[in-house]
Amino acid sequence: MRAHTQYSPSQCSTYSLTRARTASRLEKMDIRIFIFSFLIVPLTFCAAAQNEWKGEPQNRGLKRGLRFRLQTDGNTFMEVKKPKKNVIEVSDYESLGEADEQSSGVTGEDPGLPTCLLCVCLTRSVYCEEVSPEMTTVPPLPKETAYLYARFNKIARIGSKDFANIATLKRIDLTGNIISEIEDGAFSKLDQLEELTLTGNRLVRLPMLPPKLTCLNANHNLLKTKGVKANIFKKLTKLAYLYLGDNELEAIPVLPESLRVVHLHNNNITTLTDGTFCRGNDTHYIRYNMQEVRLDGNPLILAQHPNSFICLRALPIGHYK
């Protein structure tokens, strides 16, 4: 059992007075909280709102480009300024198309684009092999093309303007087309052209050739002696490989000193002279560069012309019986 605390009368009066004072203080605090909550706080927000409208604040809580002003004389007014818009005037539909074309950087037809859609363009090489639909002419080439491979198509003719603007060409391969005509100016101006392959076409004559040519392959054509000028190779001082096999040649043209390999097999060659490969009046002359000569498949018995190849380091390949 708890013991009851006994208070004296004086202590009781003191305790009652303390409770009364505490209650009075709580009542005063409640009144202050009420005044602060319902009177002072709203007035504070109103004052802040009034202060916010004073002066000339820019873009406060509004869209960019709008501006509000409050005059100081008590008369309030609002000034709204909208942002300026860039207006493009277009007269008609055609003008719009022209504007779009100019903005996109298109100034005209790119001759290299169709070729690189049909063919494969890698760096400076263009591969147009067995193109579908069939390619019947030399395609426009991208600038600075160095290597063209247009094999196994239906190209029938080479014009003088087909390679006119591509002076950087070093190799042209037109194997397996149906080319029957090549204009003289088609290759003659290609100063950097080194390799020209015309194998498997229908050529009856050779065009003029560029001066730096090192390799010419015209095997499997319809070339005849009258279609190959006698001195067509004489000025080609860098020509090292000449392939004219499987044609219809009756004689051998003049061959430059630079030649290493010459193939004349399967033609109609019937005669040789002492000057065909050697110099008939110079028995000490040796043709050091010439490494291989093919004359097999011709109606020619090589044993009957021993002085024709006495200057060669190796006997020509052909019939000796």
Residues facing residue 148 across a β-bridge: 126, 172
Query: What confidence tens digit (pLDDT) does each residue in 193-217 have?
Result: 999 999 999 999 999 999 999 999 9
- Spatial separation of the C-alpha atoms in residues 13 and 261, rounded to whole Å: 139
Predicted TM-score of the model (pTM):
0.65
User: Of 4-13, 110-119, 214-223, 298-307, where does mean pLDDT reach its minimum?
Assistant: 4-13
Q: Give the SS3 label for residue 232.
A: coil
Residues facing residue 121 across a β-bridge: 126
- Spatial separation of the C-alpha atoms in residues 274 and 132, rounded to whole Å: 51
Q: Is the pLDDT of residue 54 over 60?
A: no
pLDDT attached to residue 136: 94
Residue 230: name the closest of 213, 247, 255, 211 by CA: 255
Phi, psi of 179 (to 5 degrees): -70, 125
Query: What confidence tens digit (pLDDT) does each residue in 66-81 have?
Result: 443 444 444 444 444 4
Calculate mean pLDDT across residues 120-131: 93
CB atoms within 10 A of CB 236: 20
Q: Are 219 and 195 in contact (CB under 8 A)?
A: no
Q: What angle do CA 302, 304, 307 make, to 5 degrees?
A: 85
Token reading at 309: 């190849």
Calculate mean pLDDT across residues 146-159: 97
Query: What confidence tens digit (pLDDT) does each residue in 5-35 have?
Result: 454 545 544 445 455 555 555 555 555 555 5
pLDDT attached to residue 311: 94
Q: What angle do CA 97, 99, 104 make, to 5 degrees?
A: 95
Higher pLDDT among residues 124 and 31, named by residue: 124
Residue 131: name the closest of 111, 107, 148 by CA: 148
Dump the DSSP string for 147-200. Answer: EEE--SS---EE-TTTTTT-TT--EEE-TTS---EE-GGGTTT-TT--EEE-TT
Q: What angle do CA 204, 205, 210 make, to 5 degrees?
A: 145
Percent of the chain with pLDDT strictly greater than 70: 64
Q: What is the mean pLDDT of the chain?
A: 77
pLDDT attached to residue 99: 35
For the chain, the C-alpha Rg in angstroms (whole number) is 50
Highest-confidence range of 60-69, 98-107, 215-224, by mean pLDDT? 215-224
Query: What confidence tens digit (pLDDT) does each residue in 163-196 have?
Result: 988 999 999 999 999 999 999 999 988 999 999 9
Task: Give CA torsion, residues 196, 155, 248, 230, to 10 deg.
Answer: -50
pLDDT attached to residue 64: 42
For 233, residues 6+ apart whose C-beta sits below 8 A from its C-beta are 209, 239, 242, 253, 254, 255, 256
Paired sense of beta strands 292-294 and 261-263, if any: parallel
Query: What confidence tens digit (pLDDT) does each residue in 268-286 have?
Result: 999 999 999 998 788 889 9
- Spatial separation of the C-alpha atoms in residues 291 and 261, rounded to whole Å: 6
